[in-house]
Amino acid sequence: MADAPKWKICWITGATGGIGSELSRQLAQRGVKVAATARSQDKLTALADSHANISAYPADVTDPESLKVSVEKIENELGPIDLAILAAGVYAPFDPDNIDLEGFHRTSAVNIDGVANSLAAVLPAMRQRGRGQLAIMGSLFGYCGLPGNGSYGASKAYLINLAQSLELELAPKGIDVTLVNPGFVDTPLNASYDRPKYFVIKPSKAARRIIEGLEKGGFEVAFPGRVAAFFKTAKALPNGALFWLLRRGLMRD
């Protein structure tokens, strides 16, 4: 007999994205009731139709009121959310010779403000219950700056810092915080990054790694291992050595 799932109700933002949709399906297959949130009603409907344990709750992470309404509806209809995976994210290229302000602001609105809005919607009930788990989707590319990655990388660096702060404050109150830092995953978001990519993995494998990491507990889930080791080493170097390594090493043109 399969082990009972660690969670009963999981809320996922960005649920129709490459990783979010895989997480939704794999958690549903494990017996978790998944409340899937994204902007597109059509994509959410198709996702919900793929498994009986997935339900659609459309909302825009840049709209804090719509998120609060969705969370209240989820908890009234399905039950208390005991795992929230905040996976909504966008990527916009950053060219210092032709700065795309719209793309920069959109990245901040979704990747940063969207997480804050989601936390504001889901955290009060978790705090009241004194239990729950939060998973924040960062990126290995938030560890240090990379060419063409000024807006996306900066937003993920923000989330790394935010997750660390939340862990310090929430863990003593019974709420686990997990920072998820993937490398390159074969999704439409990563496809728009037009520089060399290394150790690219499939969304299905990324979702398995994330779920396994969340089940084990601990603060960070980072993968692939070789890319994670590279960036963790790189960020500890003096700036001169860091810039030399990045210009000539893994991310060279």
Positions marked catalytic? 152
- Measure the CA–CA gap between 48 and 24, rounded to whole angstroms: 9
Contacts 24+ apart (CB under 8 A), 238-245: 242/144
Angstrom distances, CA of residue 18 to CA of 21, 177, 212: 6, 22, 18
What is the distance between the alpha carbons of residues 72 and 62, in angstroms, rounded to a whole number?
A: 17
Please, are residues 78 and 35 in contact by the beta-carbon 8 Å criterion? yes
Place of tokens 């439409």: 188
- Supply the DSSP symbol for 223: E
